[in-house]
A and B are shown apart, each in its own frame.
Chain A
Amino acid sequence: MSDSLRGTWVIAYRELLRFIRERSRLASALGMPIIFLIVFSEGLKRQIGVLAMGVDFVKFMYPGIIAMSVFINAVFSGLSVVWDREIGFLKEVLVSPLTRTGVVLGKAIGASAIGLIQTLVMLALAPIFDVSLSLKIVLELIPIVIVLSLAMAGFGLLIGSRMRSQQGFQVLVQMVVFPLTFLAGVFFPVNDVPRWMEIISKLNPLTYGVDAIRRICLAGEVPRGALASSHPIIGVTVFGHTTTTIEDVAVVGLLGAALLVAAIFSFNRQV
């Protein structure tokens, strides 16, 4: 097996091993999305109830929170690099024959696997939120969650390859990732917000990721009118064109590929 291929699976394997062995991490990775789901849906459903186009707010938000959890989990794969650097373990990896490319891909794949586990746990809660699921929906979601995870892991790893302290990484995540997540249409449709917010949201690649997941989850739930309107609740309307699921995934996928290449390049520079 080549050093790159072996690197990929060895590193991914360790990410999963750490995920399982470190109880606080396991608890926060699975607990945080569940808390988000329950708190936001219970807290907001009486206030908001049904959105303009007849879509129940909780059903609208549910796929958004899945996407948000996947993003945040994947970005934090970059933090695991900084953490490895701080505890010294990164040196053990860097002095081994594994290639830097393998290390980056392994971290990204590890993050995707954890993202998938999170997603499945959240999907198991669907009946609580009155969202009907089918095997088809779950199978369609899996590749999308993987693409989103790889893309956001690329972003996290690019930052992580340059950062020396966990605090620095956290600050950056709070200043960049959280605002982008909130502006990605997790809690409200991006087609019907003030102009300035609409522009930021539609430039924000996360918006397309949220939309892809929402389209699949709500395939059977959204009334025809909601799609046909000039301000559709799902789909991102750019210059009059409303994106399809494939287009959404393509936007995230292309950006993700660029970020992963940049992360590999940046990793290779540290010898």
Chain B
Amino acid sequence: MSYEPKTPLSPASVITAAGLARNFGHTRAVRGVSFDVAEGEVFGFIGPNGAGKTTTISMLCTLLAPSAGEATIAGYDIAVNRSEVRRSIGLVFQDPTLDEYLSAIQNLRFHAYAYGMPKRVREERIRELMTLMELWDRRDSAVRAYSGGMKRRLEIARGLLHHPRILFLDEPTLGLDPQTRHRIWEYVLDLQQRETLTIFLTTHYMDEAENCDRIAIIDEGRIVALDRPEMLKDSLGGDVVTLRVEDGEAAVAELLTRHKLSSALEGDVVSFSVPQADEFVPELIRGFSSKILSVTIQRPTLDDVFLSLTGRSIRDESPDPKQQLRRFVNTPGMRAQTR
């Protein structure tokens, strides 16, 4: 299945990709993806593990040369103006990239030095972001004493330190508990508002994808759909409404004549699909002549969208074993032993 861009090119695109592809030997990890991301947008790359999300991010961030295609970041070509691209972006990787032997503030200072920030700006910005991420009180602790959620927050603070225009988040909440995940999202969306930041993120958590302005669903190295989450869900034909009524036959007839909706009847349960059911149902009830006993509205999830596009459920995918092993080996206890 191939994807045709539906959204017109925005003049203020900060990311453009055209036919971007990458092979590893005979494996075609990314098979030509094209998309544009507008300034200030939260753009999600959604798909199962191994779909090509991280490979795409690595190409956009100049860490991996594309096998084919081209892309620009903040107007700079990723293959030609690497240094300018690197200055325009902040990056939070899937795996931790902090120096655990240094303190939190030393990690941030290193980053500031690397980006050549002047001292006054640097100290002010470090304080601002660490306060925002609620890490200021623990600034002098060695990073190895931080919890998983704190490390993530520190990495997000670090990614934003040099005022990037675009923040890349590769699976920002992987391996975190639901409560921490929720908090991370609050921080990210808060920052996005404050700094008019463009965010490009990858995730395989469908509930997180809901936070995006637009999402691209990627499977086996190709974009299979790209739109607002609501539109993608609507593309499945809308929400499923189930009514329990006193007189099923009459309800079916009324739905057909008054609302032009065909419905299915099972005993006293009538069900039908309609776009934006949350707005439709109150209106329906107001003028409905047969008595309604109960109503349920089921919004299709992005998982349903993925299922309909690929024939597979994204949740069926267990995390790839190599990655699990790497996470295990990367825990501080194990690291000390391999040293």
Residues of A within 8 A of B (CB): 1, 3, 6-7, 10, 13-14, 17-18, 21-22, 86-89, 91-99, 166-167, 271
Min C-beta distance of B116 to chain A, whole Å: 6
Contact yes or no, B114 A98, CB < 8 A: yes
Q: Mark B62-84, 1 if CB is under 8 A from A, else 0.
A: 11110000000000000000010
Q: A10-B113, A88-B97, A89-B97 are in contact. Are A95 and B102 (CB under 8 A)?
A: no
Q: A14-B110, A271-B65 are in contact. Are A88 and B96 (CB under 8 A)?
A: yes
User: Which residues from chain A contact B158 at a C-beta distance below 8 Å?
Assistant: 92
Min C-beta distance of B164 to chain A, whole Å: 11
User: Which residues from chain A contact B89 at a C-beta distance below 8 Å?
Assistant: 95
Which one, A10, A88, A94, A97, contacts B87 given CB within 8 A? A97
Contact yes or no, B330 A87, CB < 8 A: yes
Contact yes or no, B106 A6, CB < 8 A: no
Q: Mark B111-127, 1 if CB is under 8 A from A, else 0.
A: 10111100000000000
Which one, B91, B96, B99, B142, contacts A95 given CB within 8 A? B91
Q: Does B335 contact A (CB under 8 A)?
A: yes
Min C-beta distance of A24 to chain B, whole Å: 8
Q: A87-B96, A271-B62, A271-B64 are in contact. Are A93 and B116 (CB under 8 A)?
A: no
A271→B78 CA distance, assembly (Å): 11
User: Which residues from chain A contact B330 at a C-beta distance below 8 Å?
Assistant: 87-88
Contact yes or no, A14 B61, CB < 8 A: no
Cβ-closest chain A residue relative to B113: A10
Contact yes or no, A91 B97, CB < 8 A: yes
Closest 4 CB pairs of A and B: A88-B97, A96-B114, A10-B113, A92-B97
Q: Mark B302-339, 1 if CB is under 8 A from A, else 0.
A: 00000000000000000000000000001000010011
A218→B339 CA distance, assembly (Å): 38
Min C-beta distance of B110 to chain A, whole Å: 6
A13→B114 CA distance, assembly (Å): 11
Residues of B within 8 A of A (CB): 61-65, 83, 86-87, 89, 91, 93, 95-102, 106, 110-111, 113-116, 142, 158, 330, 335, 338-339
> Beyond the given A14-B99, A18-B101, A87-B100, could you list 20 further A-B residue pairs with CB under 8 A, ordered by the A residue number?
A3-B83, A6-B116, A13-B113, A17-B102, A17-B106, A18-B102, A88-B96, A88-B97, A89-B98, A89-B99, A91-B63, A91-B93, A92-B98, A92-B158, A95-B63, A95-B91, A96-B114, A97-B83, A99-B83, A271-B64
Cβ-closest chain B residue relative to A90: B97
Min C-beta distance of A12 to chain B, whole Å: 11
Secondary structure call for the A interface: helix
Cβ-closest chain A residue relative to B329: A86
Cβ-closest chain B residue relative to A84: B99
Contact yes or no, A6 B101, CB < 8 A: no
A65→B39 CA distance, assembly (Å): 60
A6→B101 CA distance, assembly (Å): 22
Contact yes or no, B115 A96, CB < 8 A: yes
A13→B110 CA distance, assembly (Å): 9
A269→B63 CA distance, assembly (Å): 11
Which one, B96, B97, B102, contacts A21 given CB within 8 A? B102
Which one, B99, B100, B113, B335, contacts A6 given CB within 8 A? B113
Contact yes or no, B111 A96, CB < 8 A: yes
Min C-beta distance of A29 to chain B, whole Å: 14
Q: A14-B110, A97-B83 are in contact. Are A166 and B115 (CB under 8 A)?
A: no
A-B CB contact pairs (8 Å), 7 listed: A10-B114, A87-B99, A87-B335, A88-B98, A96-B86, A96-B114, A166-B338
Cβ-closest chain B residue relative to A18: B101
Cβ-closest chain B residue relative to A98: B114
A167→B89 CA distance, assembly (Å): 34
A97→B76 CA distance, assembly (Å): 14
Cβ-closest chain A residue relative to B64: A271
Contact yes or no, B101 A93, CB < 8 A: no
A99→B111 CA distance, assembly (Å): 14
A87→B114 CA distance, assembly (Å): 18
Which one, A22, A94, A99, A271, contacts B101 given CB within 8 A? A22
A91→B158 CA distance, assembly (Å): 13
